[in-house]
Structure 1
Amino acid sequence: MGFSALVASALCTFLLPLLLFLAAVKLWDLYCVSSRDPNCPLPLPPGTMGLPFFGETLQMVLQRRKFLEMKRRKYGFIYKTHLFGRPTVRVMGAENVRHILLGEHRLVSVQWPASVRTILGSGCLSNLHNGQHKHRKKVIMQAFSRDALQHYVPVIQEEPRQASPDGEQQLVEAFEEMIRNLFSLPIDVPFSGLYRGLRARNIIHAKIEENIRAKMARKEPEGGYKDALQLLMEYTQGNGEQLNMQELKESATELLFGGHETTASAATSLIAFLGLHHDVLQKVRKELQVKGLLCSPNQEKQLDMEVLEQLKYTGCVIKETLRLSPPVPGGFRIALKTLELNGYQIPKGWNVIYSICDTHDVADLFTNKDEFNPDRFMSPSPEDSSRFSFIPFGGGLRSCVGKEFAKVLLKIFTVELARSCDWQLLNGPPTMKTGPIVYPVDNLPTKFIGFSGQI
């Protein structure tokens, strides 16, 4: 074979596929950008759309924080990308996020990625809209009223003192598998993320159905109070609706995800920050001592809602933890019409992700942002400027239904931790990862030792 033939063969083998690939990427970019609204004079936000079909999903899933930090440095507070099969604009900053969160049902509507909708189901609160969402939220909120929270306090107080029974290990593993695959490409084939997530979800649904049928047989709730699942069951029966087992299972699964994973993430971050800042832990203990919560077991004041509300500094420690390490990094919306935001257009039908973690990072309200300083929350700040600078529970009509429950749980956890033990982080300051909830890469190996009670 002559030299020219070898060159031609090499071109066909290597160069032609490369050119075709580059052409496909360019056509993909043009296709994505072609959905720009021609009736709006504003440009699309800066950014890139990634690979054909896959967009930048794989890069985001694999790199997470590194990917998002690179995008923010390069493109600023608003940029376009293509994630989970949809053209997407990612938004951060208090003023930008304010427009999104207060535009629910008018400018935007909630729409999680297809994999989330498929795994959690259409019957859960986060996938409902308008009147359905309003009524369902009203029912669930009864489970998180102040009276209900008072009933939960002694139950929560026992949790840090106990470990999960061995019989629940399969359920825990299934739950973790579901969470790992919640955000995945919408491809339901064997061994795909969506396939594994659905298989794990089915194990969880089977266990929840057992509990629902047990509640139906028991009639009266245990302990004299009604949990969210009991209230939903009564709501469907009271309105003459047929009890929809699938919707109840989906609602319960969503509450487990929203309540368990997020508070577990925040509790882990609390251990990390207090382990790294012993001076803050000592101030927490000082507050507990003043309130009569750091005495011998026979002299300790009983925990209740009134006592918990008096722990102002402990509450600030939790706020600072949620500022630096919010468990949920952001939320998903879809543009109901073309939006104009900070000099850019967001076309109708595009997904919008508002970022909680980045909004905290860039907030002008906070000085020395990287410093763990709970005292910053001790003095009140102007409501208008702080409202959307600190949004660990989201905001607007879609703010977290269980946020008051989470605050109570984390306060009790902090109290029990501070008055029962000291601890040391064996690997030092952890590196945090998002998947989709924030957690330490090394799972935070920690050595706990009994606390003497001396300050």
Structure 2
Amino acid sequence: MVLFTLCATFLCTLALPLALFLAALKLWEVYCVSRRDLSCEKPLPPGSMGLPFLGETLQLVLQRYKFLKMKVRKYGHIYKTHLFGNPTVRIMGAENVKHILLGEHKLVSVQWPASVRAILGAGCLSSLHDSEHKHRKRVILKAFSREALENYIPVMGEEIRAGVRRWLESGSCVLVYPEMKRLMFGIAMRILLGFEPTHTTRQTQQQLIEAFEEMIRNLFSLPIDVPFSGLYRGLKARNVIHAKIEENIRKKVARREPTAQFKDALQLLIEHSEQSEQPLRLQELKESATELLFGGHETTASTATSLVTFLALHPAVLQKVREELQEQGLLNSDATEDKQITIELLEQLKYTGSVIKETLRLSPPVPGGFRVVLKTFVLNGYQIPKGWNVIYSICDTHDVATNFSKKDEFNPDRFMEGCSEKDSCRFSYIPFGGGSRSCVGKEFAKILLKIFTVELVRGCDWELLNGPPTMKTNPTVYPVDNLPTKFTPFPYKM
């Protein structure tokens, strides 16, 4: 009798719940697979769908790098999963990515996870479609024209030189990643949103940085808006950002004429709204400004941090950059202060540009992009069903590219003229995405990163105090130790 009671207790407390859990997993898998398109004879990609309702979102959030690498080893370049509340196919590789990026509006359409859409809003560029997207993109591109970029260069140089001076004057350890975010945020505030560099603006900048940190931490979260949830905290931080931007919008509208020598992106959006038959609402303006501020500083801060890392780890590359600056008259202490940096001069810095390209190849700041399938199509022998999400991976596409020799090595020469790797398949190298959804601010980013590299290498020597860092993604790539670094003055000698 006692043995029977123990067995019954065991069944009730352990075996039965385990059996029910396994049955729930099986039913979940069957349910997800049943969402395949029965009119298509091709099978779904291999993969697993994770836990009921949660899918594999928690594994992705908690173990991103290990989780994704395990998936690739197990399933290859196309596999199914369940992320952020939706059945999803994750893809990589030049030919597969090309199919997705060139299939915009025909096979797929942009659709970020519900948490991203809720926080950034439906009125931002990345959430718009068709004619609305094209029209808004044309307006924003005015802020990134060659003429506009030329006007931004002095502001970029001023802010970066001030940042370099701070690092040198600290005399001790500098946490590079937080400093880069502070630096790039200040540049984005001035150039993209037109905030003037006053004491009050510095206070506003710090408040906005803290709010952005909270918003970004919770950008990719479960779509559950209850107190203390990730989405709740993200929305609360977003509201702080919107309030500050609204103040600036109202000042611009009341002033009517901008005081700066150039029109920032927000000013252009306001003018477009006033002249349009369908003016942008205040909420849409705030969402667009938030997206510009996010895109204008988060990705460049990530890449600038990676540049500091790679140049420190490869002194021969750093030396070649300095030799190029010397050739252009940018490394002479007598001429440096007087020589004006222009777009034409930056275009002459071919090797410096190749260093930035190689940094973006090995450490792209944005890991990938999200799409939703408009109609079922076949990719590499697998059906990609209508209604499913597709994630194309930028970092994994770079990793599996076959056209780059010794692809784990940091070698900027692969992007120099005359190298066969330079003009290989363009979908093997996609740090800014591709197709009609390629990054609207990529030329802005390229110029900003070139000026950053120039001012850094002609002003400093530096040492990574912890050696090569471990990298993490959330949502952009960053070093887990914040890259503690010691900066010392560079003496302008070759």
Task: Classify the TM-score, shorter chain.
Answer: over 0.9
Partner of 1:303: 341
1:161: how far off?
2.6
Secondary structure at 1:222 match in 2? coil
Counterpart check, 1:253 vs 2:253? no
1:222: how far off?
2.8
1:446 to 485, 488, 492: 485
User: Structure 1 regions of 5+ residues with no counterpart?
Assistant: none
- Using the TM superposition, name which of 214-223 and 286-295 deviates more: 214-223
Counterparts of 2:423 and 2:100 in 1: how far apart (Å)?
16
Counterparts of 2:85 and 2:66 in 1: how far apart (Å)?
21
Partner of 1:402: 441
| Contact in 1 for aligned 2:329/2:335 (Cα 8 Å) | no
The aligned amino acid for 1:53 is: F
Partner of 2:196: none
Counterpart check, 1:358 vs 2:396? yes
Identity of aligned residues (%): 74
Counterparts of 1:325 and 1:450 in 2: how far apart (Å)?
27
1:225 to 262, 268, 274: 262
1:168: how far off?
2.5
Alignment deviations for residues 305-353 of structure 1 (CA, whole Å, 9 cap, x no partner):
1100110000000000000000000000000000100110010000000
The aligned amino acid for 1:432 is: M
Per the alignment, do residues 301 and 140 of structure 1 end up closer, same or farther by CA in structure 2, a change over 3 Å counting? same
Counterparts of 2:204 and 2:41 in 1: how far apart (Å)?
61
Counterpart check, 1:96 vs 2:96? yes
Within a 5 Å distance, the mapping from 1:422-433 to structure 2 comes to 422-433=461-472
Counterparts of 2:88 and 2:14 in 1: how far apart (Å)?
33
Alignment deviations for residues 364-418 of structure 1 (CA, whole Å, 9 cap, x no partner):
1101111000001003547884210000000000000000000000000000000
The aligned amino acid for 1:452 is: P
| Contact in 1 for aligned 2:272/2:279 (Cα 8 Å) | no
User: Structure 2 regions of 5+ residues with no counterpart?
Assistant: 164-181, 183-201
Counterpart check, 1:24 vs 2:62? no
Within a 5 Å distance, the mapping from 1:282-361 to structure 2 comes to 282-299=319-336, 300-361=338-399
The aligned amino acid for 1:267 is: A
Instruction: Count the aligned residue pairs.
Output: 455
Partner of 1:70: 70
4+ runs of 1 displaced by more than 6 Å? none
1:427: how far off?
0.5
2:316 to 270, 273, 279: 279
The aligned amino acid for 2:22 is: L
| Contact in 1 for aligned 2:416/2:422 (Cα 8 Å) | no
Partner of 1:9: 9
- Using the TM superposition, name which of 240-249 and 230-239 deviates more: 240-249
Counterparts of 2:424 and 2:26 in 1: how far apart (Å)?
42
Counterpart check, 1:169 vs 2:206? yes
The aligned amino acid for 1:94 is: A
Secondary structure at 1:388 match in 2? helix
Counterparts of 1:243 and 1:82 in 2: how far apart (Å)?
35
Counterpart check, 1:386 vs 2:413? no
Secondary structure at 2:45 match in 1? coil
Counterparts of 1:381 and 1:248 in 2: how far apart (Å)?
45
The aligned amino acid for 1:238 is: Q
1:236 to 250, 255, 273: 273
Counterparts of 1:432 and 1:383 in 2: how far apart (Å)?
26
Alignment deviations for residues 134-173 of structure 1 (CA, whole Å, 9 cap, x no partner):
0000000010010000000000111223355455322111
Q: Given the two structures, how large is their TM-score scaled by the length of structure 1? A: 0.98
Counterparts of 2:221 and 2:103 in 1: how far apart (Å)?
27
Secondary structure at 1:189 match in 2? coil
Secondary structure at 1:66 match in 2? helix
Partner of 2:195: none
Counterparts of 2:70 and 2:162 in 1: how far apart (Å)?
42
Partner of 1:417: 456
1:14: how far off?
1.0
| Contact in 1 for aligned 2:108/2:372 (Cα 8 Å) | yes
| Contact in 1 for aligned 2:25/2:52 (Cα 8 Å) | yes
Counterparts of 1:454 and 1:368 in 2: how far apart (Å)?
33
1:182 to 219, 228, 232: 219
- Using the TM superposition, name which of 237-246 and 183-192 deviates more: 237-246
Secondary structure at 2:428 match in 1? coil
Partner of 1:372: 410
1:241: how far off?
3.3
- Using the TM superposition, name which of 130-139 and 293-302 deviates more: 293-302
Counterparts of 1:238 and 1:328 in 2: how far apart (Å)?
34
The aligned amino acid for 1:81 is: T
Per the alignment, do residues 272 and 90 of structure 1 end up closer, same or farther by CA in structure 2, a change over 3 Å counting? same
Counterparts of 1:350 and 1:383 in 2: how far apart (Å)?
35
Per the alignment, do residues 382 and 434 of structure 1 end up closer, same or farther by CA in structure 2, a change over 3 Å counting? closer
Secondary structure at 1:372 match in 2? coil
The aligned amino acid for 2:267 is: Q
